[in-house]
Amino acid sequence: MSRVGAMPEPPSLKDAAWLAEPEVRAIFALLNRDGDSGRAIGGAVRDELLGRKVTEVDFATTALPETVMERAKAAGIKSVPTGIEHGTVTLIAGGRGYQVTTLREDVETDGRHAVVRFGTDWEADARRRDFTINALSVDADGAVYDPVGGYSDILALRVRFIGDADKRIAEDCLRVLRLFRFHAECCSGPVDRAGLDAAIRGRHRLRALAAERITHELARLLVADGAAGTVEEMQHAGILPIILGGIGYLERLRRIIDFEREAGLAPSFPRRLAALAVRIAEDEARIAERLTLSNIDREAIAAALKGEADQSPPSAREARVAIYRKGRDAFTNGLALAAASGRDVITNWVRALKTVSGWEAPAFPLGGADVLKVGIARGPAVGRLLRDLEDWWIAADFAPDRDSLIARLQQIHAGQQ
C-alpha cells in the first residue's frame, strides 16, 4: 500500500514463508486485539522484497509495552523488557527472539540518544526511521505499507534517507555507518549522493559514539557482498580514517575477498579487518583498542599475523606442518593475509589451501609416561626428549605410529647408556 504519488505499489507478501510461521502468527494474534494493531516491520519486509533470506522478524504495534508483556504472559510466551523505556520488549517464541516496539515519535535527540513518546500513528512512526527501505511494514494478511517510497528504492537498489539526510544524522550519528552498511548489503553502484554528502558533513560526529556501536556496524559491513566498493567510498569520504585511526589498505581487502570467494570460504570479519587495517603487531593492538574488539576477534587477528605464510605458497607437506603447529584457523587466515599482500597470484594460495582441505592434524601419540617407562628419570630431560621425538615425527610427515615412536625412544635411551 503506497501513499507516495505514482510510486510503484509493493506486492503482497501473503505467500512469504516466514509470515506463516506459527510463532509469527501467535505474535500477530496477541498484537491485533482490543483495538490495537501490529505489523512486521523493517528488515524482514525489506529482505523479502529484495529476495534475500529473512533471518529476523521485528514487529511494531500501537499497544503499549506493558500491554504487550501482559498479553504475552497470558499466551504463554516469555517476554523480556530489553528496551522498555524506548517501547521495546523481546518476545521469546519457539526458541527465537522477536522484538516488539510500540509506535514512537522523537521528542528530543542529541545525536546519540533519543527521548521518545509513544503513539498510534503508523505514518509518523515510519517517518522517524532512518532509511526508506527500513520503513516498510506488513500486516498479518501480507499487505505491505509503504508511506515513504521504500519500494521504489528497493527496485533501484538504493539506500536513501527519509526526509532531510542531515537531520536524520543529527538525530543519531550512527546512521552515517548504517548508510554504508545497508549499501554494502543491499545495493550496487555508488552510494546515494545526497546521503553521501550528508555523511561527509556529519562524519566528525562519529567520534562521540561508543566504540561498540561502531564495531557492530563495521562487522556487518565488512562481511557484506558489497564491502570492497563501499569501504573504498568510505575512505574517499574521509570516514574510514576516523573509524580506524588511519587509512585502510583497500587493495589488501579486495584481494582477501577474492581469496575467500575462490577458496569457498565464508566471509570473516576478523580476517577482512586484518587485511584492511593490520600490517604489524602494533596495528593489531591499536585497532583492538580503538574498536574494543572481542577477545575472540582480537585473538583471531593476532593468530593470523603469526600464521602469515612466507614469500611463496607452501607445499602440501609444509601446509600440514603449519596446521599442526598453528591450528587450522590460524593457517587459513595467515594464508589469506599472504594472498592479500600480493606475494603471488591468488589462485596459487588457494591451491595451497585446497591441498590440505581434508587433512586433520593428528595428536602426537606419546606422552611423558611413555618416556618414564623406558627408565628415564623425571626432570627437564623428559620434555626435551618428547620435543625431539615430536620434531622427528613431524619431519616424517606424521607417518610413524606409536610403536615406531616407542622403538625410536628406546633406541635413543639405549644410546645414552
Distance of CA 389 to the CA centre of its chain: 42
Residue 172, C-beta contacts closer than 8 angstroms, at least 6 positions apart: 109, 111, 112, 114, 130
In the prediction, which pLDDT does 412 show? 86
Cα 57 to Cα 3: distance, rounded to the nearest angstrom: 24
Cα 314 to Cα 337: distance, rounded to the nearest angstrom: 14
Contacts of residues 324-331 at CB distance under 8 Å and 24 or more positions apart, as own/partner, are 324/361, 324/362, 324/394, 324/398, 327/303, 327/361, 328/361, 329/300, 329/303, 330/303, 330/304, 330/306, 331/307
In the prediction, which pLDDT does 415 show? 72
Cα 381 to Cα 412: distance, rounded to the nearest angstrom: 12
Whose CA is closest to 190, among 237, 152, 252?
237
Whose CA is closest to 354, among 265, 285, 239?
265
For residues 253 and 270, the answer to whether their CB atoms sit within 8 Å is no
Quote the CATH superfamily of domain 1-156. Answer: Beta Polymerase, domain 2 (3.30.460.10)
Cα 396 to Cα 160: distance, rounded to the nearest angstrom: 61
In the structure grid, which three cell numbers stand for residue 114, read together?
A: 533519543
Q: Mapping DSSP to helix (H, G, I), strand (E, B) and coil, where does residue 339 land? A: helix
Count other Cβ atoms within 10 Å, centred on residue 375.
11
Cα 2 to Cα 145: distance, rounded to the nearest angstrom: 6
Cα 125 to Cα 123: distance, rounded to the nearest angstrom: 5
Residue 13, C-beta contacts closer than 8 angstroms, at least 6 positions apart: 19, 45, 48, 49, 138, 142, 144
Q: Looking at the whole model, is its pTM more than 0.95?
A: no
In the prediction, which pLDDT does 110 show? 52
Q: Mapping DSSP to helix (H, G, I), strand (E, B) and coil, where does residue 2 land? A: strand
In the prediction, which pLDDT does 306 show? 85
Per-residue pLDDT of the chain (417 residues; tens, 9 = 90+): 444 446 789 999 999 999 999 999 999 999 999 999 999 999 999 999 999 999 999 999 999 999 999 999 999 999 999 988 889 999 999 999 999 999 987 665 554 555 668 999 999 999 999 999 999 999 999 999 999 999 999 999 999 999 999 999 999 999 999 999 999 999 888 999 999 999 999 999 999 999 999 999 999 999 999 999 999 999 999 999 999 999 999 999 999 999 999 999 999 999 999 999 999 889 999 999 999 999 999 999 999 988 887 678 999 999 999 999 999 999 999 999 999 998 789 999 999 999 999 999 999 999 999 989 888 878 888 999 999 999 999 999 999 999 999 999 998 878 776
In the prediction, which pLDDT does 376 show? 80
In the prediction, which pLDDT does 106 show? 64
Quote the CATH superfamily of domain 160-247. Answer: cca-adding enzyme, domain 2 (1.10.3090.10)
